[in-house]
Amino acid sequence: AQSVTQLGSHVSVSEGALVLLRCNYSSSVPPYLFWYVQYPNQGLQLLLKYTSAATLVKGINGFEAEFKKSETSFHLTKPSAHMSDAAEYFCAVRSRGGGNKLTFGTGTQLKVEL
């Protein structure tokens, strides 16, 4: 079964600092990977997705993620954090077949401080 692990349930950065949210995947086949963001009291919004077309994926709001097969990782980064980036971030993997289920990691809460 495919799964993702997010390291660090809470990450705190200063405004303007680099954001790095970690995600490692487990999959016996090339995975489809996603990052979602959840702002307080809202639903989940797709930030970006990896579909094997390119290893460096750019998403909305200045976020990007790099797929590294050798490290089985798909970490999310943003060069300069903004107060509005404070939210819960979820890494997810979508299975091939079996209902194409989207399985989420446990989430990382990003806090941005002045």
Give residues in contact with other proteins (CB under 8 A).
32, 34, 36, 38, 42-46, 49, 51-52, 88, 90, 94-96, 98-104, 106-107, 109
Smallest distance, other proteins to C-beta of residue 35, A:
10
Q: What type of residue is 113?
A: E
Contact indicator for 48, 66 with CB cutoff of 8 Å: no
Q: At its nearest, how many Å lie between other proteins and the CB of residue 61?
A: 16
Distance of alpha carbon 37 from alpha carbon 87, whole angstroms: 7
Q: What are phi and psi of 79, to 5 degrees?
A: -60, -35
Tokens of 79: 């060069």
* 27/77 with CB nearer other proteins: 27
52 vs 55, which CB is nearer to other proteins? 52
Q: Give the number of other CB atoms < 10 A from CB of residue 29.
A: 9
Minimum CB separation of residue 34 from other proteins in Å reads: 5
- Nearest approach, Cβ of 7 to other proteins (angstroms)? 16
